Amino acid sequence: MVNSEAKTPRERYRAQVRTEIKERAWEQIATAGASALSLNAIAKQMGMSGPALYRYFGGRDELITELVRDAYRSLADTFHAAAQAGSGVTGLAQALRGWALQDPHRYFLIYGTPVPGYQAPDDTTAISSEIMATLLDACAALPSDGPSTPFDAHLEGHRDWAGGHPAPPAVLHRALTFWTRLHGVLSLELAGHFTGMGIDPAQLFAAELDDLAGPPRG
């Protein structure tokens, strides 16, 4: 018998209830944000009473941690798929934006305001570097490169985060700015800071992407 999946019926049931709880949690997060996530409400919605959920999750924080993990996993999968589609960094960027717009609260759960005491568990940083790896691959495939900047020199000495990826500093730099710039536009868009301004976030995003994927800056 295979150890990994579907062992005892009890475990099957347990896993099913766990995923249903998470589904309800996602619904709740999608409508009201992570701060409004209520174990009580989820329990009531599932027809059972409050403390029952503590059989499945140690508490609110543990549930949120699990959701963060799932969100990271989802983004990593999206990135992998986009990378395999082979449309380079622009494909990755569009995949990122699509993923973010599909559920803004999920994006904020990862990249938004950090919750007070919470800190990401180790495996999320593993998934995070997985994401970074596919981004680095895409950036390495771009035509390189402009003059070396002082920051490139700094990166030469601090490339641990790249997980041993054999890319020149300029590529690391590009991946980093890809991340920060697109996050800059995206997070402001999702937070609604452009709504009152009348400008089109998609075009601003595209402009940043053009500047990123196009010219090796000089």
Partner DNA sequence: CACCATAGTTAGAGGTTATCACTGAAGTTA
Partner DNA sequence: TAACTTCAGTGATAACCTCTAACTATGGTG
**Is 37 or 171 the residue whose CB approaches DNA more closely?**
37
- Using CB under 8 A as the binding rule, the residues of this chain from 4 to 33 that contact its own copies are 32-33
For residues 218, 153, 206 and 141, what is the CA-based torsion angle, rounded to 10 degrees?
A: 90
Q: Is 15 in the site for DNA (CB under 7 A)?
A: no
By the 8 A CB rule, do 133 and 165 touch?
A: yes
Q: Which residues, other chains included, contact 9 with Cβ-Cβ below 8 Å and sequence gap of 6+? A: none
Binding residue (CB under 8 A) for its own copies from 10, 160, 164, 166: 160
In angstroms, what CA-CA distances link 178 with 26, 81, 105, 111?
Answer: 28, 18, 21, 15
> In which residue are the tokens 């536009």 written?
185
Among 6, 32, 49, 161, binds DNA (CB under 7 A): 49
Residues 57-86 that bind DNA (CB under 7 A): 58-61
Residues in the chain: 218
Nearest-angstrom CA–CA distance, 34 and 67: 10
CB 209, CB 186: distance < 8 Å:
no
50, 59, 98, 215: which one contacts its own copies (CB under 8 A)?
215
- Of the two residues 88 and 112, which places its CB atom closer to its own copies in the complex? 112
CA–CA dist 74, 99 (Å, integer): 9
Contact between residue 86 and residue 141 where contact means Cβ atoms under 8 Å apart: no
Binding status of residue 164 toward its own copies by CB under 8 A? no
Name residues contacting its own copies, limited to 172-211 (CB under 8 A). 173, 176-177, 179-185, 187-188, 191-193, 196-200, 203-204, 206-208, 210-211
Please, where are the H alpha helices in the chain? 9-32, 39-45, 60-85, 88-102, 104-111, 122-140, 150-157, 169-190, 201-213
Tell whether residue 8 is a contact of DNA (CB under 7 A): yes
Output the smallest distance, CB 50 to DNA, in A.
Answer: 5
| By CB under 7 A, residue 14 contacts DNA | yes
Tokens of 194: 């452009």
- Residues numbered 59 to 118 that lie near its own copies (CB under 8 A) are 108, 111-117
Per partner kind, with CB cut-offs from 5 to 8 A, the member of its own copies, DNA, none near residue 166 is: none
Binding interface with its own copies (CB under 8 A): 32-36, 108, 111-117, 119, 125, 149-151, 154-155, 158, 160-161, 173, 176-177, 179-185, 187-188, 191-193, 196-200, 203-204, 206-208, 210-211, 215, 217-218
Binding interface with DNA (CB under 7 A): 8-10, 13-14, 17, 37-41, 43-44, 47-52, 54-56, 58-61
